[in-house]
Each structure stands twice: as C-alpha cells, then as structure tokens.
Amino acid sequence: MSVPGFDFCDLAAPGIADLQPYQPGKPESELAREYGVSDIVKLASNENPLGPSPRALDAAREALEGMHRYPDGSAHALRTVLAERHGVAPAQITFGNGSNDVLDLVARAFLSPGRSAVFSQHAFAVYPIATVSAGADAIAARANDPGHEQPYGHNLDAMAAAVTGNTRVVFVANPNNPTGTWLGGEALERFLHRVPDDVVVVLDEAYLEYARAGEGYADGTGWIDGHRNLVVTRTFSKSFGLAGLRAGYALSSPEVADLMNRVRHPFNLNSVAQAAAGAALDDTGHMERSVDLNARERERLRSALADRGLRTLPSAANFLCVEVGARAADVNEAFLRRGVILRPLAGYGLPRFLRLSIGTERENDRFLAALDEIRDESLLERSA
C-alpha cells in the first residue's frame, strides 16, 4: 500500500541523503552521443594512456577460460607475489575491488556512529562518502593556502589538530587527487608520530609509481613495522593500466588486515584481475615506459601552459590541476565541444580549476590545439 507524500530519503541512514554520488570522468561514448563528435580524447580519469602490459593482456585472456569458476577467494598467487615484493607477511595484505573498495573496508571496520574520520579539503571524494556511509562524522581539515609551495595540498598541522577523542581514521592521499600535490617523507613521519595509536592512518598511494621523482617523496610501506595503526593502499588502476578490472590492495599490520578481511565481501577480486595484476607486476619494462612518458609529457604540458599564462599546481602524479578562471565550467564545455574530456573540480572546492590527465604526445597535442582555439573565445583568465 502506497503512502501519500512518502520519501525514501526518510528511510536512509543519517547523512546519506546529503551525500553527492561519486562522479567519474565522462565516458567517450556519452560525449559522442551528446555532442556528435568523433576522434575523442579522454583526459579526465588519470588512466595510463599506454594501456595495460601485453603480459597482463595475455594473462587476462587465459584467465577468461575459467570464468565459470569462482576466483581464489584469498588471491593466493597474487598475495604471495605482493608479500615478497613489499617484504611483508601474506597476512598483512587485504585485497579490494580497486583501492576505493579498500578505503571502504577501512571505514566499515573502524567507523560507526559517534566516531569521526579526518581528511583534507580538496582530497579524494571517496573519503567523505565512505565515512558518512559508515555513520561517522566527516571532518575536512583546512588545506594549504594558495600561496603555499604545495598550494591546496594537505596541511598536516591542521589535520593533526582536527583529531579528537572520537576520531578513529585519518585519510592522507600522497600524492593527492585532484591537486597532484605531495608530502615529503620527513613531514609524513612526524605526522605519524603525532597521531594517537588508536587512530588508523590510511596512506593512499594510488599514484606512487609516478610520484617517485617528487622531491622528498617516500614510500609509506617502510613505516608499517613501526606503526601498527598505518594502512597503505595501492591500486593497479593507474600506472599498471588495469582500471577496468578493478584491483587494489592494502598493506598493514596483521591485526588491522584481519579486521578488514572480516568485512571484505567474498570474491571481491575477480580471477581475471588477479591474473592480470600478477603479470603486470612482472613487466617492469612497461612500467618504466609508462612512468617515463608521464614525466616527459607532464613537464612539456606544464611548460606549454605556463607559456600561455596558465597556472598549474605542483604535481607528482599523472595529471595537472590547471587554473582557468571563474568561467571554468564554460571552458570545460568548450573542450567537450572539441572532443577533449577534462575533469571539472568545482565539486572538490576548486571551481577555478580543471584537471588534465597526462596522455600520449598526440593526445596532449590535441588538448593544446583545443586550448589555443578556446583562448580566442576569451573564456580563459591568465594567472601567470
């Protein structure tokens, strides 16, 4: 029997009705339908423009032959490889359907009503979504000022100050998405010592492979033995080029991993993803080519944008955060009409910026050509 005026939002858990769903980058097929354009360049989702390793593709094809069988629920083969690679015990690894899933596992294991999680302004949108979904309070700490050497990046002093007696999780992205800014190893280690032992610190290193050249950058796995409350998350979606297969994992103390695995859904890492991820780890040549291309093209784009009077934030990732001015939404629309998909950042509290993933040389040239056309429309504001 229907009830007049009934609203399902009244049934939702507290806070859920106020959440905004995560908005992925616009798919190429959607742009083609809406605008009737072809030869589309997607630079919105921080994907590896070289695609997956050929070895990963071969392994995925072979794994498809067994798709009628459930996957190995423990991902034993991949777990063994990763344990050896990182110098940890197999029991210290938790797998996820992408690292987004691992972030949600942390929230479900450690957050609940009456507890809180701390993260930075202008940080990954999944942090507040996972927090509120678990019934906890989401606390966004003030980010760095625009004039800081890492503008709009994590302010660790503000984050430490935001931790209270009911805080159980702190999310730290290094490098940060969507800004590209990063934290040095010394600053992060001091922060870990400041956070109480009963607060789980999640160090999200989705862009680690691209970040190694960042000044002072440090791999967080070296701190796991000394900080039982540390969780380091990784993904195969970015530099490994397996975004469509959804494979991620966390490294932590065995105690934390055990709790996360208690709330992990069965078979959350499918058999094709397991096989492709293991093969991708073995193809160091493909990784080197991917990282080299990114570093070279990122610097070329940064220089080209500066020559055009546009400011980019410092980035140790595979994207640039570009300040285009008060009409950023119109600028984004102008790029879409030209078949170039970027990522608007108003939802991240950065309404003057667009995020540009680093593509191949041809894709980046398409972006620059479209940019030069848009400059003639007087939509852009010079910021440099």
What is the mean predicted confidence (pLDDT) over 322-349?
95
Query: Which of the 8 DSSP states describes residue 71?
Result: P
**Fold of the domain spanning 66-283:** Aspartate Aminotransferase; domain 2 (3.40.640)
Q: What does the pLDDT look like over 257-293, one tens digit per residue?
A: 999 999 999 999 999 999 999 999 999 999 999 999 9
* Amino acid 10: pLDDT: 67
Rounded alpha-carbon distances, angstroms, from residue 203 to 35, 103, 118, 208, 308? 39, 10, 12, 11, 35
Percent of the chain with pLDDT over 70: 92
Note the pLDDT tens digit of each residue in 124-144. 999 999 999 999 999 999 999
Q: What is the pLDDT confidence band of residue 213, given thresholds at 50, 70 and 90?
A: low
Residues 99-123 have pLDDT tens digits of: 999 999 999 999 999 999 999 999 9
Q: In the chain, what's the furthest Cα-to-Cα distance?
A: 65
Q: Is the pLDDT of residue 307 over 60?
A: yes
Residue 46: predicted pLDDT: 95
CA gap 208, 192 in Å, rounded: 18
In which band, very low, low, confident or very high, does the pLDDT at 225 lie, cut at 50, 70 and 90?
Answer: very high
Would the pLDDT of 212 be above 60? yes
Alpha helices in 65-217 (DSSP H): 76-86, 99-110, 126-133, 156-162, 185-194, 208-211
Confidence of residue 29 (pLDDT cuts 50, 70, 90): confident
CA atoms within 13 Å, Cβ hemisphere of 227: 26
- Long-range (24+ apart) CB contacts under 8 A made by 105-108 are 105/250, 105/260, 105/263, 105/264, 106/130, 106/169, 106/200, 106/202, 106/231, 106/250, 106/260, 107/131, 107/133, 107/134, 107/136, 107/169, 108/134, 108/263
Check pLDDT > 90 for residue 35.
no
Query: Is CATH 1.20.140.70 the right assignment for the domain spanning 10-51+285-375?
Result: no
Domain boundaries, the chain: 10-51+285-375, 66-283
Q: How far apart are CA 312 and CA 329, in angstroms?
A: 17
Whether the predicted pLDDT of 337 surpasses 90: yes
Comparing 253 with 19, the larger pLDDT belongs to 253
What stretch of H or E contains 271?
helix 271-282
Mean model confidence pLDDT for the chain: 92
If you average pLDDT over residues 320-331, what whole number do you get? 96
Residues 245, 96, 239, 72, Cα dihedral to 10°: -60
pLDDT digits (tens, 9 = 90+) for 1-25: 455 666 766 666 776 667 676 566 6
Q: What is the pLDDT of residue 37?
A: 83
| Distance, CA of 295 to chain centre | 18
Contact between 181 and 152 under an 8 Å Cβ cutoff? The reply is: yes
| Token code pair at residue 47 | 């994907």
Q: Is 42 helix (H, G, I), strand (E, B) or coil?
A: strand
Q: Over 80: is that where the pLDDT of 32 sits?
A: no
Local structure of residue 322 (DSSP, 8 states)? E
Distance CA 242, CA 56 (A): 9
Task: Say what the pTM is.
Answer: 0.92
| C-alpha to C-alpha distance for 175 and 341, rounded to whole angstroms | 22
User: What token pair was written down for 302?
Assistant: 């940064």
Region 208-226: what's the mean pLDDT?
A: 87
10-51+285-375 and 66-283: identical CATH topology: no
- 106 phi-psi bin (left φ>0, alpha ψ -120 to 50, beta other): alpha
